Each structure stands twice: as structure tokens, then as C-alpha cells.
Structure 1
Amino acid sequence: MFGWLPYAGIAAVLIGIAIAFTKWLGDEWTWINRKIIHFSIVPAIVMFYFGKIPAEVFSASAFVFGLFQLWPHIKKREFSWYQIEHNYGEVFFAFSASVVPLVLPKEYATALLLAMAISDGVTGVVRHYYFRRHGFNVKLKKHWTGSLAYLITALAIALAFLDGDAIRKMMWAGLLTLAEYQPWLDDNLAVPLVGSLLFILY
């Protein structure tokens, strides 16, 4: 009945290690730290895909993690090494990740979760180093270099996990890239929303 417990425990420990590591890196690496934590959810996604962590457990865990990250914002005591005042992206990410496995089939949910974790993480790292190299404020800027990285990784994920022809997979990756880049809605909400709507293609 509780065969998933060791796997959920391993996933939680890996996320905890990532948070501890980013704290060690410090405030100077805030934007990179946020992406490292994004990457740290990948083992949990893989365990979900292979049936080691049930959708309900994955969802509940992500929801609790979202509450854990929301509380410092409410108290105005953000974890300064990866949280940014008035930016709730990491909270939206966790809450979105809690909904996706409950409303979408496992294979499709896995692809979307991986895009949220890996593609978003890669694009953030690429943009960080681009702007750092050019002397700009890296915290809240977007650039085509990051979007290109997003498109490439999202396409690789689509090819690996989604059914359908290459055109639909390219369309999926391209529309998620646009959802990530658009300036009106936080990408941690926009990507899962657009990705969920795109399920009709599959």
C-alpha cells in the first residue's frame, strides 16, 4: 500500500539537498538557484512516470511544497537565496505541478512537467549567463537566447514522450516557448495552462 513511500522520500531528500546547496551558493546566484530547484524536481517526475510515485502523492507533495514556499512571502521573510520579493514564480510552479498530474494522462503530464522543470531551468541559466556577461540585471529579463534553449529542450522532450507526428511535436514545443516568453502572465502559470489546452492535439 505504501510502496511509493521510499521513492517519495528520495525525491523529497533530493529537493531538500538542492535547496541546501542553493543556500550555500548564496544570494548572488538567486536566479541560478531558482533554476537548480526547478531541476531538482526531475527525479520525482521520472518516478511518477514509471509508476513509483502515484499521481495523488505527487500532487499532494507539490501542493505542500507550494505552501512551504508561499509562507515566507506572506510573512515578508523570503528565502533570499532563491526567492524574490513580489515574485511568486516558484510558488506558481509548485501549485501548477500539483494540478497537472491530476488532470492529464501520465505520459502527457510527464512531458509537460519536464518542460516546466528542464526547459524553464535551462532557459533561465542561459539568460542569466548572457546578461551577466553583458553586464545587465539578470533577475527579471528575458532574451531570445533563452527562448532558443527552451525550444530545443521542449522539442527533445516532445519527441521522447509525446505521441503524434513531428509537426504536432514542433507546434507543442513552439507554443510552450511562446507561453514562457510572453510578458503578461507568469510563465509558471502560462506554460502549464497552454500545455494543458494543447492536450487536445494528442
Structure 2
Amino acid sequence: MLPEWTLYALIAATFILVAIGITKRLGPEWAWINRKIIHFSIVPAVLMFYYGLIPREAFSAAAFIFGLFQLWPHLRKREFSWYQIEHNYGEVFFAFSASVVPIALPKEYATALLLAMAISDGVTGVVRHFYFRRHGFNVKLRKHWTGSLAYLITAVFIAFALLEAGTIGKIGWATALMVAEYQPWLDDNLAVPLVGTILFLLY
């Protein structure tokens, strides 16, 4: 007999698979938005992890497998064009980071960091996409302060909902993650969980 958590894992996986199906219909011209829709789709899995419905080991293993699933098309040079971008491994880094975070960090803090990676990063990408689309620029790989502001606002809400630090600490946490997302040297799907882990050690 399968353990009870497998049902919740299947439900969480369904959200992700449905998101992938929807984004495939939208097509490659919406690749940047499609990536963010898939980011949003892991939120049910994160919440199930937080409420103890999915064990951290199962969440971590599933995220790692999903990372491998997304890495394979890159290695074959046959990316899923509706959400993968050639030479950009962001969605792979996202999955692998999501695999490490719940194993390396306490549940409440890991949940806050995972939600920032999924929601804040997703919102900032959507805001930037439509800002640049409105102004006629290439929306695929550009960053802008409007998106960073959206990141900061959503990350502050997440911090106040889940973190035990004081007000200044929560705002500082959100600000540090926002800067990690914006900086140009390291992919934000690696930089944000790395900075978030360092902040946990400092707190």
C-alpha cells in the first residue's frame, strides 16, 4: 500500500504538468511568461511540504528529477521551445535549487525561500515582460526596476507571513533576495537560494 503522501505528491505534480501543458499551447513567443507560470505552479507543492503533507525527502527527490527532465533537452540541443531558452539553464537551476533548499534548511525558512523563488521571481518576470513588451523591447532576458519592486513587495509579504525575525530583519531579507535576483553575474535561480541560505546562517 502506498503511503498517504503519494496522493498529495501526485496532486502537486498535476499542477506542474497542467502548467506545462498550458504554456505549450501559448507557444514560444511567450517563453518568458511561460517560465514564470511554471514557477507559480510549484506553489501547491511548497504549501503541501509546509503543512507536512509531502515529506522533505520526497519534495527534494521530485524537484531533482524534474531538474534532470529539464536538463536533458538542453544537453541534446532540443529545448522545449515554449519555455526553455537556448544557453539559459535557469529553469534547471531552479529545480535543483528547490531540491536542495528543503533538505538544507528548516521547514519554515525553506518554505519562505521556496515561495520567494516561485512567487516573487514569477511576479517580477511577468511585470518586466509586460513593461518591455509595451515599450517594444526584447523581453526575454532583460531586467528592470519595475520587476525588482514587484519582487521586493511580494518577498516582504512572504517574510512577514513566515519568518520569525523582526520587522527590519524581514525587510532586509526581502531586500537582499531582491538584489540577488537583480545582480547580473550569477543566475538568480542560484543566487537567491545561495543568499537566502547565507542570511539564515547570519540570523
CA distance in 2 between partners of 1:200 and 1:103 (Å): 11
Count of matched residue positions in the alignment of Structure 1 and Structure 2: 202
Q: Partner of 1:164 in structure 2? A: 165
Q: Partner of 1:69 in structure 2? A: 70
How many angstroms does 1:161 deviate by?
Answer: 0.3
For structure 1, the 5+ residue unaligned runs are none
Partner secondary structure for residue 51 of structure 1: coil
Q: Partner of 2:51 in structure 1? A: 50
- State the TM-score, normalizing by the size of structure 2: 0.98
Instruction: Note if contact 1:168-1:201 (Cα within 8 Å) is conserved in structure 2.
Output: no
How many angstroms does 1:201 deviate by?
Answer: 4.0
Mapping of residues 59-98 of structure 1, within 5 Å: 59-98=60-99
Q: Partner of 1:127 in structure 2? A: 128
| Counterpart amino acid of residue 192 in structure 1 | P
Q: Could you report, residue by residue, the CA deviation over 1:75-128 in whole angstroms, capped at 9, with x for unpaired residues?
A: 000000000000000000000000000010000000000000000000000000
How many angstroms does 1:22 deviate by?
Answer: 0.1
| Counterpart amino acid of residue 3 in structure 1 | E
Partner secondary structure for residue 85 of structure 2: coil
Q: Partner of 1:194 in structure 2? A: 195
Q: Partner of 1:29 in structure 2? A: 30
Q: Partner of 1:150 in structure 2? A: 151
Q: Partner of 2:16 in structure 1? A: 15
How many angstroms does 1:200 deviate by?
Answer: 2.4
Q: Could you report, residue by residue, the CA deviation over 1:122-141 in whole angstroms, capped at 9, with x for unpaired residues?
A: 00000000000000000000
